[in-house]
Structure 1
Amino acid sequence: MRILFGIQGTGNGHISRSRELVSRLREDGHEVEVVISGRKQDELKEVEMLEPLRVLKGMTLVTYKGKMNYIDTMFQLDLGRLMADVLTLDMSGIDLVVTDFEPVTSMAARLKGLPLVGFGHQYAFRYRIPVARGNIFERYTLLNFAPARYNAGLHWHHFDQPIFPPVIPRSLYEVADRQEVPGKILVYLPFEEPEDVEPFLEPFSDRQFYIYGKIDEEGDRGHLHFKGYSREGFLRDLQESQGVLCNAGFELPGEALHLGKKLLVRPLDGQIEQESNALGLEELGYGRSMHSLDSRVLSEWLEEEKVEPHAYSRTVDYIAEWIGAGDLDDIGRYVDAAWNDCGA
C-alpha cells in the first residue's frame, strides 16, 4: 500500500510517536511518504529515519511563559500559503493518508476523497474521555484542526472507548531494566522560560534535576543539569530517573507511566488538550498537576513514593495490523488486543 503520512512538527511528541508507526508500516512492506509541517526544516531534530520527507509551513501555535498566545498565533497564520500547499500536494498513486494532527494532509485527503486515518492523542477527544471546560474556540480547534474519517486515538487509559494505549519508543522495551539513580528527576518544561525554571528548582538541592527543553546554555550548575536535545540521552535520563516533571503533553507522561515513574505535570494555560491531560491524570490517580510553578506542590510530590509500571503493549503493531487489514471500520478488536497485552 502507498501511504502519505502527515506529522505536526510543533511538538517532539508527534514526531516521536509517528517515527514508531512509520517504521512499523515500512517493515510491513508499505511505501510511506512523509510530510511534516508547523516547524522550520532547520529546527527539526533526528528526523533522518523518516526520509523521504517534505517540510511545509502548515500551521502552528505560539506560546509564551507557559500560556497560549492566540494573537501571535493568528498573526503567523498564512492562509494563502496553507491553501496553496493543500492544492499542490501530489496525491497521485496514494492509497491511504495518515495524519498525526497535520492539517495539510488532512485537508488534501478530504479534498481528494481519499481514506484518511487520524493517528494520535488528539483523536481520542472524539470519544468520552475527561475534558477540561475550555472555551468554544479551543474545543473547535482541537476537533477541527486536522479531522479524519477514521480515528486511531491514543490515551493512557481506554475509558471503555475504542482508544489505543500510548505509543512507546521501541528502545524503552529493549532496555527497560536500566537502574534508577536515587534523587534523579527528569524535567521537560519547553513552554516555560529558563529564567523561571532555574529559580523554581534551585532550592531543592537534595535532588538532581536533569533539565531539557528551552535552555540558555548546556552545562551543570550544582544539582541542576541543563541538557541539549538528544533523543538517546533523553530516554537514558528518563529510565534512570525516579520521577518526571513536565508540561502536560501526552507522549512523555505515557513513557513515564510505562516505566513506573511518578509524574508531576504543569499544563499549558489556555491549551485545552494539556488541561484535559492534567485532569485525566488526576482522575485516574496516575499523577499530580499544578497550574503554576508551585514550590509547595513540588516539595510534596518529591516525597511521594514510586509507582508501578503500566507496561503498555507495542501499540504500533496493532495499529499497523489494523491499517494493513484494510477494513478501517473494524477497529474494536485491535484496540481490545492492544489493551489485553498491557502489563505482559
Structure 2
Amino acid sequence: MKIFYAIQATGNGHISRATQLYPYLQKFGSVDFFLSGNNASLDIDLPIKFRSAGCSLHYSKCGGLNYWDIVKNIRPHQIYKDADSLPLKNYDIVINDFDSVTSLACKMQKIHSVQFGHQASFVSQNTPRPEKRSIMGEMILKHYAPSPKNIGLHFEKYDSFIHPPIIKDEIVQAEPKDLKHITVYLPSFQKDCLEKAFNKLQDIQFHWFLNDVPFKYTERNITYYPVNQKLFNESLINCHGIITGGGFETPAEALHLGKKILSIPIRDHYEQECNAAALKQMGIPIVYEVGDDFDLVIENWLKSDIIYPKMEANNIPETLKFLFDTYHN
C-alpha cells in the first residue's frame, strides 16, 4: 500500500505526531510525507517527498497572532499550483493532518481523503469551545482543510470518532522525576516579554525553550535552550511543572507524566482558545493576558493544590487500523 501523509507545519506538534506514527504506518505500506508551511523548528527525520510554503503563522511580539503578516505572506497562485502538482492518484490512501493544500488537491483531483489529527475533533460540536465563539474561527476549523471522513484526537472522548492523544514513546516509557525546575515553551513570546518575571523568582530554575536560541546557556535562574526534541523531552520528564501555550501535544504529554501545567493560549488563536476551554474543564489554570504581575501568577500556581487528571496515551496500532478501515468503508 502506498500512503500519502500531509503534515501542516504551522507548529511542531504535527511533525512530532507524524514522527511517532511513522514506524507504525510502515507496517501498512510505504509512506511519503508532504510538508506544508514553515513554522516548525524541529529537525525533521521523515521522508519528506513534497513541500509547499502553504500557509504559515506569524506572531506579534508578546503572545498573539499577527494576521496582517499571515495574510500578506499567502501566495494563492502558488498554493493552487502546488495542489495541482501533487500526484495523489498514485496513492492508495491520503491522510491529511489539517493541510489546506492537500485538501484543495483532493477536491481538484477528485481524490478521497481522511482528516486525521487534533483539528478533526472540532467537526463535533461536543468538542469544547470558549464561552464566546468566533464565527471566523469556526469557519477556519470547518473549511480550512475539509475531508469527507474525520478521525479526531483530543484530551477526552467528546465524540465517537475522537481518540486519545498520540504520545511519543519517549514520554510513555519514561520514569518521570521532579528535579524542581519549570519548563517553559511559549513560541509566540519573545525573550524580553517574560524574562523580568522569571528573574524575580530567583529561587525557581526555569528551562526556557526559544526558537532563536542557538545553543544552551544559563543566565541567573534561567537556562535557555534551543528548540530540540531530545532536550525538551528530558526537561519535561524531569520538571516540576510546565508553562506552555494552548496547544494540544505538549499539555497532553505533561498530563500523561503527571506534571503541573500553566497554559497561556496564543491571543486571537481560536483553536488554542478551544483547547484552553477543554483544559479549563479539566481544572487546569489558564492565563489569557500576561501582565506585570506574572511572577505572582506563577507563584500562586506553584502553591496551588490542583489535582491534575491522568492522560491516557493513544493505542496507535488500534487507531490506525480504525483509520484504514474507515477510509476504505
Q: CA deviation at 1:221?
A: 0.9
What letter is aligned with 2:35?
I
Match of 2:274 in 1: 276
Gaps of 5+ in 2: none
Are residues 134 and 67 of structure 1, via their aligned partners in 2, closer, same or farther at CA, if it must alter by over 3 Å? farther
List per-residue Cα deviations over 1:127-165 (Å, max 9, x = no partner). Answer: 111112343222211221111111111111113543111
Aligned length: 322
**Alpha-carbon contact 2:246-2:272 (below 8 Å) kept:** yes
Q: CA deviation at 1:206?
A: 1.6
Secondary structure of 2:5's counterpart equals: strand
1:6 aligns with 2:6: yes
Secondary structure of 1:268's counterpart equals: coil
**Alpha-carbon contact 1:58-1:82 (below 8 Å) kept:** yes
Distance in 2, Cα, partners of 1:329 & 1:279: 34
Secondary structure of 1:289's counterpart equals: coil
What letter is aligned with 1:148?
S
What letter is aligned with 1:5?
Y
Q: CA deviation at 1:308?
A: 5.5
Match of 1:148 in 2: 147
Match of 1:337 in 2: none
**1:177 counterpart (175, 178, 182):** 175
**2:210 counterpart (210, 213, 218):** 213
Are residues 47 and 230 of structure 1, via their aligned partners in 2, closer, same or farther at CA, if it must alter by over 3 Å? same
1:98 aligns with 2:95: yes
**Alpha-carbon contact 2:282-2:308 (below 8 Å) kept:** no
Match of 1:163 in 2: 162
Are residues 198 and 44 of structure 1, via their aligned partners in 2, closer, same or farther at CA, if it must alter by over 3 Å? closer
**1:51 counterpart (31, 47, 51):** 47
Distance in 1, Cα, partners of 2:197 & 2:50: 40
**Alpha-carbon contact 2:127-2:159 (below 8 Å) kept:** no
Match of 1:336 in 2: none
Are residues 299 and 44 of structure 1, via their aligned partners in 2, closer, same or farther at CA, if it must alter by over 3 Å? closer
Secondary structure of 1:68's counterpart equals: coil
Q: CA deviation at 1:216?
A: 4.9
Distance in 2, Cα, partners of 1:2 & 1:304: 51
List per-residue Cα deviations over 1:218-257 (Å, max 9, x = no partner). Answer: 4101211100121011001100011110011111000001
Are residues 98 and 143 of structure 1, via their aligned partners in 2, closer, same or farther at CA, if it must alter by over 3 Å? same
Q: CA deviation at 1:88?
A: 1.1
Distance in 2, Cα, partners of 1:164 & 1:150: 14
Q: CA deviation at 1:52?
A: 4.2
1:116 aligns with 2:149: no
Secondary structure of 1:288's counterpart equals: coil
Match of 1:18 in 2: 18
Q: CA deviation at 1:289?
A: 0.6
What is the aligned-residue RMSD (CA, Å)? 1.9
1:223 aligns with 2:221: yes
List per-residue Cα deviations over 1:160-198 (Å, max 9, x = no partner). Answer: 543111110011122x214221x2111001101111121
Secondary structure of 2:163's counterpart equals: coil
- Percent identity reads 29
Runs of 4+ in 1 over 3 A off after TM superposition: 214-218, 305-309, 327-330
Distance in 1, Cα, partners of 2:95 & 2:270: 23
**Alpha-carbon contact 1:20-1:316 (below 8 Å) kept:** no
Secondary structure of 2:107's counterpart equals: helix
**Alpha-carbon contact 1:2-1:94 (below 8 Å) kept:** yes
Normalising by structure 2, report the TM-score: 0.92
Q: CA deviation at 1:92?
A: 3.2
Q: CA deviation at 1:113?
A: 2.6
Secondary structure of 1:202's counterpart equals: helix
Are residues 288 and 242 of structure 1, via their aligned partners in 2, closer, same or farther at CA, if it must alter by over 3 Å? same
Match of 2:255 in 1: 257
Distance in 1, Cα, partners of 2:158 & 2:312: 15
Secondary structure of 1:99's counterpart equals: strand
Are residues 303 and 66 of structure 1, via their aligned partners in 2, closer, same or farther at CA, if it must alter by over 3 Å? same
Distance in 1, Cα, partners of 2:309 & 2:231: 21
**1:195 counterpart (192, 198, 217):** 192
**Alpha-carbon contact 2:96-2:102 (below 8 Å) kept:** yes
What letter is aligned with 2:196?
P
**Alpha-carbon contact 1:261-1:307 (below 8 Å) kept:** no
**Alpha-carbon contact 1:95-1:115 (below 8 Å) kept:** no
